Each structure stands twice: as structure tokens, then as C-alpha cells.
Amino acid sequence: MRLNLREILHQPGASVPFAFQMDLSDLDFYGECPAQAPIQVSGAVRNTAGALELQGTAETTLSLRCDRCLKSFRQEMKVPVSCLLAERLEDEENDEIVLLDNGEADLDELFTTALVLAMDTKHLCSEDCKGLCPRCGADLNEGPCGCKPEVDPRLAALAQLLDKETE
Ligand SMILES: [Zn+2]
Ligand SMILES: [Zn+2]
């Protein structure tokens, strides 16, 4: 969505609220498309003593896959966004400022970027997910799988030696 701010550009104290939905279901994030649910965006842009301040949040429920047990799970995500908007840069160094295009702010781009930057690269269904058994692939969250615990190769050699002696 493009938000028209021409009305408040020169009106200190004035503000323009916004609320809309974004569809980012095609957004690729490391080979997955986690944003299957719509993104709810809301907030306002206020002219504070001549500077345009945007405050808003993007909220959604992500569809993720656990890195350890590969199970699908959902996770709430809420990203607060605040930034300054301006028609032109007074100071080239300041890249915190988002430029307006013809008095309009491209909120889709702004909130999509904020969401991507806030996304975790690691996803765990729970902090103490036990993952899958490296031998049989069973989900260890559902209980032990019955595989013998991994034996240290040095101990295995010793065990073989002892076996021979008892033969
Ligand atoms: Zn898991
Ligand atoms: Zn196992």
C-alpha cells in the first residue's frame, strides 16, 4: 500500500493512520515460504515539528519447520517499526530516513523489509526440542526410540578385545 502524506507534509501535529493486510505467501526465505498467513499492518505517520515519524507494527503467524525434528509449527510474530520519512535527504549520511516518492510512502516495501530483517534464521518448535534419532530417524520428542546409545569407537574396540578373551 502507498500512503499519501501530502496533506500532513507541512502540518505539524497532524497524522495519518494506516491499517492494511499484505500477502507475502510467495516470499522466499532460505528456500521456504514462511509467511502463509496474511500480514496485518497498522500504525500512523505523524508530523512532529516538521519531521514525519512513522510508528507501526506488522503482525502475523509464520508457518515454520523445526530445524531439529522437521515438524511444521506456527509461531506468532510481531515486528514494531519506527522510522523517519522525508521528501529528500538533508544529510546524505543518514540512511535511517525513508524517502517519499511524490509525497507517498511505500508501506509494502517498508514493512516487508522490516519483517525479513526480523525473521530468525534458526527455527525450533521448542527450545528443548530433542530432534530426530540420527540412526533410525524417530522423533525423540515422542520418547526414546530403542536404538542403543552411540558407543565411543575407542570403547567399542576395547569391548571387542574383551569379547575375544572370554571366547
Ligand atoms: Zn522440533
Ligand atoms: Zn533411533
Instruction: Determine the residue type at 131.
Output: G
Q: How far is the CA of 159 from the centre of ligand 2 (A)?
A: 22
DSSP symbol at 32: B
Nearest ligand by distance to the CA of 134? 2
Q: Pick the residue with more confidence: 61 or 88?
A: 61
Q: Which pLDDT value is given to residue 148?
A: 80
Q: For residue 92, is pLDDT > 80?
A: no
Q: How far is the CA of 131 from the centre of ligand 2 (A)?
A: 11
Nearest ligand by distance to the CA of 136? 2
Nearest ligand by distance to the CA of 129? 1
Q: For residue 95, is pLDDT > 70?
A: no
Q: Which pLDDT value is given to residue 160?
A: 76
Q: Which pLDDT value is given to residue 162?
A: 74
Residue 108's Cβ-count burial label (10 Å; 0-12, 13-18, 19+) is: middle
Q: How far is the CA of 153 from the centre of ligand 2 (A)?
A: 18
Q: Report the distance separating Cα 5 and Cα 67, nearest Å.
A: 43
DSSP symbol at 88: S
Q: How far is the CA of 73 from the centre of ligand 1 (A)?
A: 9
Q: Which residues, listed in sequence order, are joined to residue 106 by a DSSP beta bridge?
A: 2
What are the pLDDT digits (tens) for 64-87?
999 999 999 999 999 999 999 999
Q: How far is the CA of 142 from the centre of ligand 1 (A)?
A: 11
Q: Which pLDDT value is given to residue 167?
A: 55
| Number of helical (H) and strand (E) elements in the chain, helices listed first | 2, 7
